[in-house]
């Protein structure tokens, strides 16, 4: 959510930003907010004047009683009562207008960075850099499900019966590999100085509304029936909400955290839940990194965070590239975002395995996360980035470490997490 001062003082900038995001249908909202804001200030001024009048009359009442002017005092008491009745209506009107403004402000997108490429959708995202040389072996790399099934590592049929499409059972060494990757990612980030966290996997609606847009909420979140609780779509939701309504001492910044959680997503409007694959699914696990920092430091943290993900993937011999997300591909709360994509030897192209985002103060403003800078208070900046998200990351790992005999090579950095195994082979079912 942007600062309403921007709409008061530079509404043209806000409108231009909406146009850059190809959301012209939201342009009238800017003028609507200005109109409502003017009404709020008029109502507030009227209320302030009435309170001032009430305070003066209340003071005069005591004076008149002391002077024996009981009749005049009683008359003033009636006038004070009338003012109080008016104030009740005025305060209700002010609350109503402020709520309407807040609801509209939640829909107006965050101001994006000046260097974000313009484009309607993810097809206009811009490649920035490649890391590692993609290798396409001279033998066929099977579909990831076929690899896992050949190693007795997945059971989709049973999951489909029990839960439906978009779910899976992982078994044996593939399940162990899945856990090993998460543990390796956890320790990798701890070594970078991040604090390891396991957050709540369900959050209340006030937290949901603070961390994401309404459109994202409707398309992603599972609601717990009969309770004010939602299953998280990523641990970022819990981790950022952890600081809701808190005032953080400037000397305690930054907060750098790496969190593990399962993630649950409806995937409404997505490209479709595959019947056999595990690329887009309803349930997965994830290691995330989250930073809450001083506004002057968020750009530096953004660069550090995506580079950590690249470094981790390269340590596992997986070639990756980075893509700058275009304006139309940015969710409303995002200032700037970068996708990390891993190379698929089977498809001979890259696919998304993570995303790094700087929200500036958009989430903090919704959640009331402020910094106390020696008496001066202002909103913090928040950032999040995927470390790894199996099983999507697992697909990249299996394809890039697949051997001609059907076995999977285990990179040296991961072997201690796999009981010192160097390979996963068909013989070890």
* Domains within the chain, CATH numbers bracketed: 4-105 (1.10.287.40), 122-428 (3.30.930.10)
* pLDDT surpassing 80 at residue 187: yes
Question: Cα(207)–Cα(211) distance, rounded to whole angstroms?
Answer: 6
pLDDT score, position 189: 98
- Which band of pLDDT confidence, cut at 50, 70 and 90, is reported for residue 53? confident
* pLDDT tens track for 69-101: 888 888 888 888 888 889 999 999 999 999 999
* pLDDT surpassing 80 at residue 105: yes
pLDDT score, position 274: 60
3-state secondary structure the chain: CCCHHHHHHCHHHHHHHHHHCCCHHHHHHHHHHHHHHHHHHHHHHHHHHHHHHHHHHHHHHHHHHHCCCHHHHHHHHHHHHHHHHHHHHHHHHHHHHHHHHHHHHCCCCCCCCCCCCCCCCHHHCEEEEEECCCCCCCCCCCCHHHHHHHCCCEEHHHHHHHCCCCCCEECHHHHHHHHHHHHHHHHHHHHCCCEEECCCCEECHHHHHHHCCHHHHHHHCEECCCCCCEECCCHHHHHHHCCCCCEEEHHHCCEEEEEEEEEECCCCCCCCCCCCCCCCCCEEEEEEEEEEECHHHHHHHHHHHHHHHHHHHHHCCCCEEEEECCHHHCCCCCCEEEEEEEEECCCCEEEEEEEEEECCCHHHHHHCCEEEECCEEEECEEEEEEEECCCHHHHHHHHHCECCCCCEECCHHHHHHHCCCCEECHHHC
pLDDT score, position 273: 59
pLDDT score, position 77: 82
pLDDT score, position 292: 98
What average pLDDT score do residues 206-217 get?
Answer: 83
| Mean pLDDT of the chain, nearest integer | 93
Question: Cα(155)–Cα(174) distance, rounded to whole angstroms?
Answer: 11
What average pLDDT score do residues 14-29 get?
Answer: 97
* pLDDT surpassing 50 at residue 409: yes
* pLDDT surpassing 70 at residue 160: yes
* pLDDT surpassing 80 at residue 223: yes
pLDDT score, position 11: 95
* pLDDT tens track for 246-259: 999 999 999 999 99
- Which band of pLDDT confidence, cut at 50, 70 and 90, is reported for residue 64? confident
Closest CA to 267 of 281, 253, 249, 288: 281
* pLDDT surpassing 60 at residue 50: yes
pLDDT score, position 68: 80
pLDDT score, position 275: 60
- Which band of pLDDT confidence, cut at 50, 70 and 90, is reported for residue 197? very high
């Amino acid at each position: 959510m942007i600062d309403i001062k921007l709409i008061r003082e530079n509404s043209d900038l806000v409108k231009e930003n909406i146009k850059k995001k190809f959301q012209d249908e939201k342009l009238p909202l800017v003028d609507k907010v200005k109109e409502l804001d003017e009404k709020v200030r008029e109502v507030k001024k009227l209320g302030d004047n009435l309170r001032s009048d009430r305070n003066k009359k209340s003071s005069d009442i005591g004076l008149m009683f002391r002077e024996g002017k009981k009749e005049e005092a009683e008359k003033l008491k009636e006038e004070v009562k009338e003012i109080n009745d008016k104030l009740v209506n005025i305060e209700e009107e002010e609350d109503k207008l402020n709520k309407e403004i807040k609801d509209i402000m939640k829909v107006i997108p965050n101001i994006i960075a000046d260097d974000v490429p313009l484009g309607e959708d993810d097809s206009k995202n811009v490649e920035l850099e490649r890391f590692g040389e993609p290798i396409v072996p001279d033998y066929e790399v099977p579909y990831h499900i076929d690899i896992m099934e050949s190693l007795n590592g997945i059971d989709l049929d049973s999951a489909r019966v029990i839960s439906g499409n978009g779910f899976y059972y992982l078994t044996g060494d593939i399940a162990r590999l899945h856990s090993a990757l998460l543990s390796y990612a956890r320790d990798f980030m701890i070594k970078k100085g991040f604090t390891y966290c396991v957050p709540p996997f369900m959050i209340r609606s006030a937290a949901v509304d603070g961390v994401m847009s309404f459109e994202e909420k409707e398309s992603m979140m599972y609601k717990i029936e009969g309770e004010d609780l939602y299953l998280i779509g990523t641990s970022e939701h819990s981790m950022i909400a952890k600081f809701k309504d808190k005032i953080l001492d400037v000397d305690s910044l930054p907060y750098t955290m790496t969190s593990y959680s399962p993630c649950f997503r409806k995937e409404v409007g997505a490209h479709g839940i595959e019947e056999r694959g595990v690329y887009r699914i309803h349930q997965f696990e994830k290691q995330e990194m989250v930073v809450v920092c001083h506004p002057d430091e968020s750009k530096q943290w953004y660069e550090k965070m995506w580079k950590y993900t690249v470094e981790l993937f390269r340590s596992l011999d997986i070639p990756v590239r980075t893509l700058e997300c275009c304006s139309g591909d940015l969710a409303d709360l995002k200032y700037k975002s970068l996708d990390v994509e891993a190379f698929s030897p089977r498809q001979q192209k890259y696919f998304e395995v993570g995303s790094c985002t700087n929200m500036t103060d958009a989430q903090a403003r919704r959640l009331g996360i402020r910094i106390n800078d020696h008496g001066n208070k202002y909103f913090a900046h928040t950032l999040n980035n995927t470390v790894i998200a199996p099983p999507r990351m697992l697909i990249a790992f299996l394809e890039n470490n697949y051997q001609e005999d059907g076995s999977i090579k285990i990179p040296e950095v991961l072997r201690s997490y796999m009981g010192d195994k160097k390979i996963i082979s068909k013989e070890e079912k």
